[in-house]
Amino acid sequence: MKTLLTADDLREGVIRMSLEIVDAYGDCPLTILGVLTGSIVLMADLIRHIDIPLRVGVVQARSYRGAATRRGPLVINSDLMPDIRDRDVLVVDDIFDTGHTLVELTRLLDDFMPRTVRTAVLLRKQGRQEVALQPDFIGFEIPNEFVVGYGLDYQDEYRDLPYVAVLEEDDLR
């Protein structure tokens, strides 16, 4: 595996994002909604740098995929989600690839009558977007490669790596 972002890079990127988020929201109370499972590591680091009164919740989005990069239909489960009515909501996900996950998710959240919905992602993959939505906060732009670590998985593995690495052909198992 080839390291793309070291733990130090990630720490700097998360601090940069958190400053932008604090700038954008001022002192407005916020609900940070992490997209399971890929966002858990970013969430844990991000919320400790955002010095605003906040609530934390999760929502699950899963796309069934056969091979590493082929995605199936998206399934969103909001059972674990806290009440977001009249709240400023920041949806946090690991990576913005085609963008369909965040588009479908933000559309679904509207039914719960939040005050505002914005989005933050650790990574945006270059040249992959198929939607008009742009994330409001982006940690890093990365090349079009399949990456793992810092929450991102390949078949539910590698989420625990403290860095982000490119998964190469030899790593597939």
Catalytic center residues = 97
What's the min distance (Å) between Cβ of 129 and ligand IMP?
Answer: 8
Strand partners, 1: none
22-81 positions binding ligand IMP, by CB under 6 A: 38
Among the residue ranges 22-30, 77-85, 98-106, 112-120, the one whose residues contact ligand IMP (CB under 6 A): 98-106
Taking CB under 5 A as the rule, does residue 38 contact Mg ion?
A: yes
- Should residue 147 be labelled a site residue for ligand IMP when binding is judged by CB under 6 A? yes
Task: Put the strands of the sheet holding 116-125 in their side by side order.
Answer: 74-77, 54-63, 30-36, 88-96, 116-125, 137-142
Counting contacts by CB under 6 A, is residue 96 touching ligand IMP? Answer: yes
> Tokens 């690839």 map to which residue?
97
CA distances from 77 to 34, 38, 123, 146 (A): 12, 15, 23, 25
**Positions that interact with Mg ion (CB under 5 A):** 38
